[in-house]
Amino acid sequence: EELLLESGGGLVQPGESLRLSCAASRFTFSNYAMNWVRQAPGKGLEWVSVISGSGDRTFYADSVKGRFTISRDNSKNTLYLQMNSLRAEDTAVYYCAKGRELELLRISFDYWGHGTLVTVSS
C-alpha cells in the first residue's frame, strides 16, 4: 500500500514562511500527479495545488496563488509546498494526496497522508 508522510507544519506568525514536505514510498512517485489539500479546524476540504509527475505543470487555488509554490524532487520521492506571506486563514491541516491514475492531473485522489498542522497566529 502506498505511503505518504507529511512534515514541516508548525506555529508561525502572519507574514512568515513555511515549507511542507511529503515523503512518498511504495509507488513510482514520478508517474503520478500530486496534490496538496487543506482542512481548516472543524471545516471542509479545500484543494490547494497540483503538480504533474514530471513537475513541469503546476496549478493553484486562487486563495494561494502568488504566495504558495508546489514542487517535487523525484530523485528523493518528495513533494513540497513552499508557503510565503502566511495569513491566519491559512491555518489548517495540510494533506498531500496522490492522483489515482498514471500522469493525469484531472483525477481523483486514491491515497492521502495523515496531514501536518499549520497554525498562523501572532
Q: List interacting residues with other proteins (CB under 8 A).
A: 35, 37, 44-47, 50, 59, 61-62, 95, 97, 100, 105-110, 112-115
Please identify, using beta-carbon distances, which residue of 13 and 31 lies nearer to other proteins.
Answer: 31
Could you tell me the three cell numbers for 68? 504558495
**Residue 16 three-state SS:** coil
Give me the amino acid identity at 75: S
Closest separation between CB of residue 82 and other proteins, Å? 19
Q: Which CB atom, from 27 or from 47, has the smaller least distance to other proteins?
A: 47
Q: Report the residue number, 37 or 120, with the smaller CB distance to other proteins.
A: 37
Q: 116 and 9 in contact (C-beta within 8 Å)? A: yes
